[in-house]
Structure 1
């Protein structure tokens, strides 16, 4: 299995070291499930409500805080060329950046009745799948993405 290189940005210390390591472990588990033979890199930033609200407004035109925003690097158009370059030069596939607001994740976990860990896991896996090219715009894509997401969460022990 190839590696997942994650640049974690937790400057405000919104999560403790154990929670950050848990997130990294779950993302590695997810990567090994969907792309075991690829070297992948990404970043994940943990921010407060004010910061995610600014990001949401700037990049999505929405004036409210949210739990996660993903910034995928690949859009699918140049996928064959990217894969050829990665194989030829042995470079990691940079899939992009996740920005997560733990406070909103906690609110959602409470609201949905399954707690912080399950909601945090859902947010991490869902965001990682988006960065990896999965989407849920049409019903077939949604069925594939949500099915994979739920299987990963269940297998990891984060059942609803």
Structure 2
């Protein structure tokens, strides 16, 4: 079964090729990390104001950011099992990306918008599956994995 990746462009400013790229990158991330293809992830593209509100409400930071990840089973010791579990996908969580910040950062870092969009999608996905960058070792591991996935799609620095 193919990965369950739901992509929503609330801005209406992304081209189909951008949405396809993000889907393909996340499919690669599923494969590289051996994630159950029945697992579901949602990616929503929004603007700076909307992501600022989410950042304020959920993280206490009243400013726009580039990407937010909301893991649905974060911190759970075990999954909840239902009698008809085979019909209920494992919900990894939601990734919210600011298209505005992605464009700003692509220009700031001197690479393509596609590279930045891909980086943010993969970064958000890795957070959903437990990666973090709170210290140098974690950051090196996470960013190395991101680069490995991005390179498979010719999105090099």
Alignment of 1:5-154 (within 5 A): 5-35=4-34, 37-78=36-77, 81-82=78-79, 85=81, 89-90=85-86, 91-154=88-151
**Which ranges in structure 1 are unaligned for 5 or more consecutive residues?**
none
State the TM-score, normalized to the length of structure 2: 0.87
Where does the alignment leave 5 or more consecutive residues of structure 2 unmatched? none
Query: Retained in 2: the 8 A contact 1:4–1:28?
Result: yes
Residues matched between the structures, number: 155
Structure in which a larger fraction of residues adopt helix: 1
Rounded Cα–Cα distance in structure 2 between residues aligned with 1:156 and 1:95: 23
Quote how far apart the aligned CAs of 1:153 are: 1.2
Runs of 4+ more than 3 Å apart: 88-91
| 57 and 6 in structure 1: CA distance in 2 versus 1, 3 angstrom threshold | same
Contact 1:95 1:132 in 2 (8 A): yes
- Which has the larger displacement, 3-12 or 49-58? 3-12
CA RMSD, Structure 1 to Structure 2 (Å): 2.0
Please say if residues 38 and 93 of structure 1, whose CA atoms lie closer than 8 Å, have aligned partners that are also in contact.
no
